[in-house]
Structure 1
């Protein structure tokens, strides 16, 4: 995300406003970002731990917003609102719930 010079405060306010709209609409689940102070570790099935994530995985940075929406079209509409507020493209993914969760 590249924020134009001098717009970081406005981006924060606009992003907060969209999140508040999602909460008011009853579609908000959670939002947050990667904690850069806690480096990733790779944990094997035998419990062995290695510093760092998967070698071929790009660095994950930025925030995540999870919304519960009835359709992909509505998800795209919300992603567009978030993209506008953040002044940058948003990657939309569908989370498939485990039926036993």
Structure 2
């Protein structure tokens, strides 16, 4: 099963040297996930580029859905055999990132 481990940008309160350490430590956890063969993909939303909504006819509207919370922060998808292992990896990332992580089952589409 694949799991999405994520955090919103507002959760990241580290600054300065602590932010540098969080980046270094979180990349080390990702390298461990790769070495363990559980890493699928990861990254973060580039918040310098604002979102747009694109309709079926190609109309572009500035901003995301007005009723939805903003989609930002960092994301990692891992393939793991159990929720317990997913929780353990989420805890490792939380410690490295210096902020809580959200854990969700990722609805992977095998036809993609």
Q: TM-score, normalised by structure 2?
A: 0.81
Please name the residue that 1:67 is paired with.
Answer: 78
2:67 pairs, out of 20, 36, 56, with 56
Bigger Rg over Cα: 1
RMSD between superposed Cα atoms in Å: 1.5
More strand by share: 2
Gaps of 5+ in 2: 1-11
* SS of the residue 2:33 aligns to: helix
- Please report how far the alpha carbon of residue 4 of structure 1 lies from its aligned counterpart in structure 2 after TM superposition: 5.9
- Please report how far the alpha carbon of residue 22 of structure 1 lies from its aligned counterpart in structure 2 after TM superposition: 0.3
Q: Deviations over 1:23-82 (max 9, x none)?
A: 000001111111122221111222221111000111222111111111111111100100
Q: Which has the higher contact order (CA 8 A, sep 6+)?
A: 2
1: distance between equivalents of 2:76 and 2:108? 16
Matched, 1:77 2:82: no
- Please report how far the alpha carbon of residue 99 of structure 1 lies from its aligned counterpart in structure 2 after TM superposition: 4.2
The count of aligned residue pairs is 101
